[in-house]
A and B are shown apart, each in its own frame.
Chain A
Amino acid sequence: MDLDYGTKYEKYTKDVQSFCKKYKGVQFSDTPKVPLASNNKSGGHTVTRSEWQKILIENGYFARSVPKEYGGYGGDSDIIKSRIIATEFSNARIPGPMAGQGIDMLVPTLLELGTEEQKSMYIKPTLHGEMIWCQGYSEPNAGSDLASLQTKGELIDGNWVINGQKIWTSTAQYSQMMFCLVRTEPEASKHAGISYLLIPMDTPGIEIRPLVDMTLHAGFNEVFFTDVTIPEANIVGKRGEGWAVANATLGHERGSLANPNATMNRLNQLINRMKKETIDGKKLIEIPVYRDRLLKIQGKVIAFQSHSLRVLSSKLNPGQDVKIAKMIQKLVGTELRHELEGLGIDIMGELGTLYEDSPYLRDGGSWQFTYMYFLGLIIGGGTSQIQKNIISERGLGLPREPKVQGV
């Protein structure tokens, strides 16, 4: 065990710290479209979200290893530096870069599998926050069983013509583009008939119907396609290889759904709340039952953060076995965050039930919102039950469930 990053990172850490000092309290002048986007409100610089992206890229704090010609910083891929950046930003409460399906999933996919033209066309505006993407995978009858999707794509006169329906498409209503899984080879087997297409959302024939979710926001949508026609070149990978292309990015999504730094920040916010809130004049942090619940969950949060260090270490030390350690991240991270948010509600009692614009609202009602939102993330991106299937079957080598006929 050696947790020292080495002397060559000392200066780097100082640089990041002085950047954080300079931008302490930076504020956004535009409102977030994406739920849970960080919304820092404490005076200081004011920038648009897109300007902030550019500042971060210029300094190498975001898109570090993305080549310059595609709008990135063009540096070496150095996960220790990425780690230092994340930690220092989190300590200084500086908003990190934008997240979202374009940045977290599409960009890595294009870097790995996109054509030169696709890379130069899409990556830069996406990194700059000027091109928002949505993920068109799930369909009414293809959720956990994603590979059974039926939205059809036919190649007619050099164009893809798409018909069908997607559902649960997060942020479709704000997106310029969708990366989408479409059945293009109806004759082929379930997994071999799918292609990965890039669809401009303003193409005629696309209808978006927002769906209100339990938080009472329209976080996701139904998207209908009627003879939606896009150029043949808007395919990533080859025809029928979409399943493999998508799986390259599902890994990215699962990693990004439960960020241990964000969980730690939230824990700290909870600690601060408990130092302020009182029952009959007594501070919550001093009430043994609440204190124990807090400390118990702190143990889990610290374990999860340490765990992410171990997974990180495996990237530097290829011999390290983290097969199962990696598989559990989505399951553990989303369940933990949901539990943490629930504790935030519980310690506040009735105050914790307040929502929207109520008097006495605490932290903008974010404990309720996030409690529900993370229940959504426990379901989205592969449910907890599916994660457990993966861990037990692919991780632990247990036999698969026998196929059941005719139920």
Chain B
Amino acid sequence: MYFGLSEEQVFFQDNVKKFLEDQASLDVIRKIASGDSDELQKEIHQGLINLGLNALLIPEEYGGLGLDLLFAAAVSEGLGSGIAPISYIGSYIMAPIAIMHGGSNEQKENYLNKISSNKIKFGVGLSEYIAARDDSGLEVSKNKVNGKALFVIDGENATHFILSTKSGGMFIVESNDPGIELIKLTSIDKTRSYYEIILQDAKIDLLEKTTSSHEAINKTVDAGRIMLAADTVGASQVMINKSVEYAKERKQFGRVIGSFQAVKHMCAEMAAELEPCYSIVWHAAHCFDSTTEEARLMACQSKSHVSEVGKMVSKKATEVHGGMGFTDLLGLHYWFKRIGMNRQLLGSPELVRDEAGKIQGF
């Protein structure tokens, strides 16, 4: 029995972290966040593609690396720790899974090869399936779609989108379709982008196996949720590390603040809550890979539980830093906001817990 990441997984994760430390310093993140640095963002994206990020999950027969979701989770953790300003969860995890589980052989042949060779890139919008807000929703008839999708992720430079109807049918639209309009949304999280998509008689390529079964869309959402949880774990760990470092250096009342029990306890509570989050995320990814019965429950609970812990960590870590934590000087808020965003994506905690209940027949 061995519970943990493999050597290769740790090695790859370290490479991702190191790459981001070198290429996506806080100064770079600030520039990207202020919106005038598309080039820098593209370079970082390309660098991670060179590491193989786009091909992780795609089977070798389609030119991919054929790795499993636990591997992808290890990477997501790394990306969260470096608040990577790039597409990942939608483009390279959810989209391939949707196609692998929902697509016909022809569709797999067509799309997966192109994702692994970086010829196409997907944005993903399944909010209408999970919880439609405002008056969003998509209607499919024949091979056309009408309506609007909100909070589409990884839409930056996407050539295609995977969207869904309320009833869980997933389909692909091309971003150069004359019937598609993209509207950028501004969220607190400036490290990644979010879109509204309005569709008017846009042509669709329906993922064939998704009309009769929810299996593919559930797999896609589960994977996305595990990835978000892993991202939050990575980001939370950085907030804790920064707090501990700061508490060892900052002096008040003639002593380092880390010598006050109040500060020590904040740090210990954060660590105590976060440690099991690694475990649940890895375990959930493992269940996903081995398609055990509890896979769906684990995916839901990892997302909702880690979201709660992330919220606590992001608050306490800010508090440990005092006024400094509230400023842009240390940039701590980029992690705070990333964690805050992850919490709401693909279902906020209450909604995901509700789903966890239904999965168990409660």
Contact = CB atoms under 8 A, between A and B. Distances in A.
Interface of A: 138, 141, 143-145, 148, 167-168, 211-214, 216, 277-281, 289-290, 293, 338, 342, 345-346, 348-360, 368, 372, 375-376, 378-380, 383-385, 388-389, 401, 404, 407
Interface in B197-230: none
A349 B344 contact: yes
B134 A143 contact: no
B326 A214 contact: yes
B131 A346 contact: no
20 contacts: A141-B251, A143-B252, A148-B253, A211-B327, A214-B333, A281-B132, A293-B350, A338-B315, A349-B133, A350-B194, A355-B188, A360-B134, A360-B185, A368-B188, A372-B326, A375-B319, A375-B326, A379-B323, A383-B322, A388-B262
B115 interface: no
Contacts of B194: 350
B139 interface: no
B327 A213 contact: yes
Interface of B: 127, 131-134, 150-151, 166, 183, 185-189, 194, 196, 251-257, 259-263, 266, 311, 315, 318-319, 322-323, 325-329, 332-333, 336-337, 340-341, 343-345, 347-351, 353-354
A353 B150 contact: no
Contacts of A138: 323
B150 A360 contact: yes
B323 A280 contact: no
Contacts of A143: 252, 322-323
Nearest 10 Cβ contacts at the A-B interface: A214-B333, A358-B186, A385-B262, A145-B252, A212-B328, A289-B350, A350-B151, A353-B187, A376-B326, A349-B348
A375 B351 CA distance: 26
Given A167-B323, A214-B327, A289-B354, A352 B261 contact: no
A350 B345 contact: yes
Given A353-B340, A389-B262, 9 more contacts: A211-B327, A211-B329, A289-B350, A345-B344, A346-B343, A354-B187, A372-B326, A404-B255, A407-B259
Contacts of A290: 350
A350 B196 CA distance: 12
B336 A214 contact: yes
Contact of A213 (B326, B348, B354): B326
B134 A351 contact: yes
